[in-house]
Structures are given as structure tokens and as C-alpha cells.
Amino acid sequence: MSKAIQKLNKLKNPESFMQINTIKGFKYVDRAGEIVNAYHKNNSAPQFQMGLNGLVIEQPKDKIDELKITAQVIWAKFSEIDSLDSISTLFAKESENILKILEVEKISRIGWRNYFVHEFLNKEKQDEYLKKFTVIKDTKPTVVRLDIKTGKDFNANLMLQPVIKNDENKTSGILFDIDIFQNGEFEPKDISKLLREFRQYLADENGFLNVVNNTFE
């Protein structure tokens, strides 16, 4: 099946996760309270859990389900995704604000993980798709892990996994779990640029979509 997926929006995108790894972020221990204060709404504190191992804030902003900050990482989960552009812009803004509070000037890694799902018409179509990954007779793969050659400065790992939707029809599908990341030494202002490059790769017919389509051939 050539060019099965021509546009990224043809895949469902139920969840997305972004993370940056900080360098010298241990002022978190002293300034976690300042971060909580930054997410007050109408003079009310957000729902949060705080300890030496990290701070977790529930729904700190619209579109962000959960935000976790430790001395080494800033991580966010999104599930109501209207566009990848909007959530990447939001994460860049929020992480830069948090980095200012922590007085962190350098980060060592930025990563963006997405779950994309392609739904099949029936279970038979799912089984037919999975056959191409079978290397041992009378078996069926449950998880396929791949390293992607992006041709860019960043790396990507892809995991394929059959899934069944929790609906009345028990719709069968395939989960494309892609993790894009770049290691190095970056400044906070670089976050937006790197996320934009990741986003462009995800939507590129010669990038992630090409890898997806190759799995259908």
C-alpha cells in the first residue's frame, strides 16, 4: 500500500509528551514553591504534589494534563491535542519561564514523544499488517522497535504496537510510538527552534510519514 498516510492529521494523536533535561537545575530544591505560585489561578493554588524528588502539577494550564519538574528534568503530558504547533509553542513558553525561576542557563537534552494511531477496518486488516514483521513461523509480534535514520542532527526511535480501541466496535489499530530527541548543550531560547524542527520532521512526507508508509508496503 503506497503512500497510505499522506498527511499527519490522518493519524489520530491521543497523547504527546515533551521533556527537557537541565544542567545545574538543583535550585529546584529552594524554588519549587515559586513555580507553584506561578500557576495560581484566581488566587487559588493548583493541584500539586511536592517533594525532594520532584514537583507534579495537575492541569497547570489549558491543554497541559500534567507538568513535572525535578532538579534534572521538566516534563509535560498533553492529551487534548488540537495541533502539534500549539502544544509545542506552549511547552516552550512554560519551560522557559520555569528555567528562569530555576536560573538554569543550559539544557542537555530535548525530547518529544508522540502516540499516533492508524485504525484498520477490521481485525483481519490488522493481522495482515502485522504479518510482515513476523520472523518466526506461527508467531505474531506484539511490539516492534526501530531506530530511525532521520538524516538530521536529532535522533528518533519508533515502536509499533497493535492496539484495540476501547469502544463498542473494539476498533483495531496500530500504535506508532515515536520519540524524537537531541542531545548536546543548548540554551533555553533554542527550545522553540528544536521543537519546530521535530514538528517539521513529523509532518514531512520524506521524514516520519515516509517511515510510516514504508511499514504498509
pLDDT in tens, 4-30: 788 899 999 999 999 999 999 999 999
Q: Within a domain: residue 120?
A: yes
Amino acid in position 78 = F
Please report the pLDDT score of residue 2 as a whole number. Answer: 47
Average pLDDT on 84-102 reads: 97
Q: Within a domain: residue 12?
A: no
**Are 135 and 207 in a shared domain?**
yes
Neighbouring C-alpha atoms within 13 Å toward the C-beta of 132:
10
Please report the pLDDT score of residue 3 as a whole number. Answer: 57
What the block records as the C-alpha cell of 49 is: 504534589
Instruction: Return the exposure string of 66-97: e unless at least 16 CB atoms fall within 10 Å of the residue's CB, then b.
Output: bbebbbbbbbbebeebeebeebbebbbebbbe
**Are 65 and 154 in a shared domain?**
no
Please report the pLDDT score of residue 145 as a whole number. Answer: 95
Contact 91, 195 (CB under 8 A): yes
Of the residues 83, 104, 125, which one is the last residue of a structural domain?
104
> Count of domains in the chain?
2
Q: Within a domain: residue 125?
A: yes
Residue 128 CB contacts under 8 Å (≥ 6 apart), including other chains? none
pLDDT of 93 higher than 50 = yes
Q: Within a domain: residue 5?
A: no
Average pLDDT on 43-67 reads: 94
CA distances from 213 to 95, 109, 206, 210 (A): 34, 29, 10, 5
Q: Within a domain: residue 173?
A: yes
Residue with cell string 514531512: 204
Q: Within a domain: residue 192?
A: no
> Which helix (DSSP H) or strand (DSSP E) does residue 174 occupy?
strand 172-186
Q: Within a domain: residue 195?
A: no
**Are 77 and 168 in a shared domain?**
no
Of the residues 55, 86, 104, which one is the last residue of a structural domain?
104
**Are 97 and 39 in a shared domain?**
yes
Please report the pLDDT score of residue 141 as a whole number. Answer: 84
Q: Within a domain: residue 158?
A: yes
Q: What is this structure's pTM? A: 0.93
Of the residues 104, 135, 152, which one is the last residue of a structural domain?
104
Better pLDDT: 71 or 136: 71
Please report the pLDDT score of residue 80 as a whole number. Answer: 79
35 burial via Cβ count (<10 Å: 0-12, 13-18, 19+):
buried
**Are 126 and 171 in a shared domain?**
yes
**Are 27 and 75 in a shared domain?**
yes
**Are 90 and 124 in a shared domain?**
no
**Are 126 and 157 in a shared domain?**
yes
**Are 131 and 93 in a shared domain?**
no
Contact 60, 46 (CB under 8 A): yes
For residue 90, the Cα-to-chain-centroid distance in whole angstroms is 13
Residue 179's pLDDT band (boundaries 50, 70, 90)?
very high
**Are 171 and 140 in a shared domain?**
yes
Q: Please, what is the average pLDDT of the chain?
A: 94
Q: Give residue 128's domain range.
A: 113-177+200-217
pLDDT of 164 higher than 50 = yes
